[in-house]
Amino acid sequence: RALGTFFAQDDITLLSRAAGLESWEWAFRQFSAGLLFRLEYAAFGLDPFGYHAVNLLLHLLNVAGVYALGVRLLGGRTAAGSAAALFGSSSIAFTPLHWATGVVELLTCTLLLGATLLHLESQGRSQAWLWAAASVALLAMLSKESAATWLLVVALAIPITFAGAH
């Protein structure tokens, strides 16, 4: 049903910024609310369907990311599938899917899931994998400032070992 909704009040603010009708402070959320929303505005204009379609695609990608993370951490497809199904159908997804500005949260989640999967894959590999994870995490932080907590979570929860390290 989200594909058929119109814009929410917060959407109008970002639309007016993307259209150049209102000034934009580039201090926060440069990647999601800045660059991505401007690209969406250039592609979809004032048609809400495109914005909601992008949000739905990001949400589905996040569900797949939760599944992949679940397989990696939980060790079984059933548990991972259950986690992904709960994540995908949770009512917490209502706002990001029904508001065009939800792209901020959805993109941040996509990037953090990607960074986490890359970080986990870096175990026993070259530092290039860790740099890739850090780069994706940086994009997440440029999407929403609260993504910076990922650094603390990863530092405390996932120790790093590299191939050839003693």
Over residues 90-123, the pLDDT tens digits come to 988 788 888 888 899 999 999 999 999 999 998 8
Q: State pLDDT tens for residues 152-166.
A: 888 887 665 544 443
Give the pLDDT band of residue 27 (cuts 50, 70, 90).
low
pTM of the shown model: 0.88
Residue ranges of alpha helices (H) inside 19-126 are: 37-44, 48-74, 77-89, 94-98, 103-121
* CA angle centred on 28, ends 91 and 100, rounded to 5°: 40
Sign of CA dihedral 7, 13, 14, 18: positive
pLDDT tens-place string over residues 48-106: 999 999 999 999 999 999 999 999 999 899 999 999 999 999 988 788 888 888 899 99
Please check whether residue 29 is in contact with residue 145, taking contact to mean a CB–CB distance below 8 angstroms.
yes
**What pLDDT shows up at residue 21?**
86
Question: What residues contact 33, with CB distance under 8 A and at least 6 apart?
Answer: 14, 17, 101, 103, 104, 143
| Cα 107 to Cα 139: distance, rounded to the nearest angstrom | 9
Provide φ and ψ at 144, rounded to 5°.
-155, 130
pLDDT at res. 164: 45
